[in-house]
Amino acid sequence: MLDNILSAKSQWTAAEVAAFLDDARQPLRLSSINARGFPQITSLWFSFHDEKLWCCTQRTSLAVKQIRRESRIGFEVAVNDPPYFGVSGYGYATVLDQDASNLLHTLTEENLGEHDAKLKRWLLSRVDTEAVIQISPVHLTSWDFRSRMSRRPVAQVSTST
């Protein structure tokens, strides 16, 4: 199925895109449309399965309000440091009125593990007010600059005169 929505210019195959999204621990950057018609970016933890991206956020969040008004979205999952690589796309997001506890537990476990037990407890304590966002991609692409970017440190600019 991902083959049908993958750009011909994508650096990776559909299987490679799926593997990256399965393993990624970076936040998904979700672009929804605000009330003035402009894109607004929200970073959310996500899980990828059934060829969809799944996120949780508070039901009262701006992203939820915007998705309820306009379901067309854009997204990106990419590393933040060189060498750069990742996946981006667009599609439709749906806010599902369902129990978010399983998804939120999965997201906190995958992204926090045992590193920040206090934050994990706090996030899980708010599960009753969480919404599930299902993202159904209609277009995907990937880029991968690892083969042409070195891992050399960026030169520091001197501020002394």
Q: 90 and 75 in contact (C-beta within 8 Å)?
A: yes
> Percent of the chain beyond pLDDT 90?
81
Q: What are φ and ψ of residue 26, in 5° steps?
A: -85, 155
Q: 90 and 74 in contact (C-beta within 8 Å)?
A: yes
Mean pLDDT score across all residues of the chain? 92
Q: What is the pLDDT of residue 116?
A: 81
Cβ neighbours of residue 18 under 8 Å, at least 6 residues apart?
2, 48, 51
Q: What is the pLDDT of residues 64-82, one digit of tens each?
A: 999 999 999 999 999 999 9
Q: 56 and 41 in contact (C-beta within 8 Å)?
A: no
- For the domain covering 2-144, report its CATH number: 2.30.110.10
Q: Which contiguous run of DSSP H or E holds residue 33?
A: strand 28-33
3-class secondary structure, 121: helix
Q: Which contiguous run of DSSP H or E holds residue 80?
A: none
Q: What is the pLDDT of residue 77?
A: 98
Q: How confident is the model at residue 152 (pLDDT cuts 50, 70, 90)?
A: low
Cα separation of 89 and 75, whole Å? 6
Q: What is the pLDDT of residues 86-143, one digit of tens each?
A: 999 999 999 998 999 999 999 999 988 777 888 989 898 899 999 999 999 999 999 9
Tokens of 16: 């490679």
Q: What is the pLDDT of residue 153?
A: 56
Q: How confident is the model at residue 3 (pLDDT cuts 50, 70, 90)?
A: very high
Residue with tokens 């030169």: 155
* Verdict on whether the full-model pTM lies above 0.85: yes
Residue 154 has pLDDT above 80, yes or no: no
Among 76, 57, 54, which residue's Cα sits nearest to residue 65? Answer: 57
Q: What is the pLDDT of residue 150?
A: 67
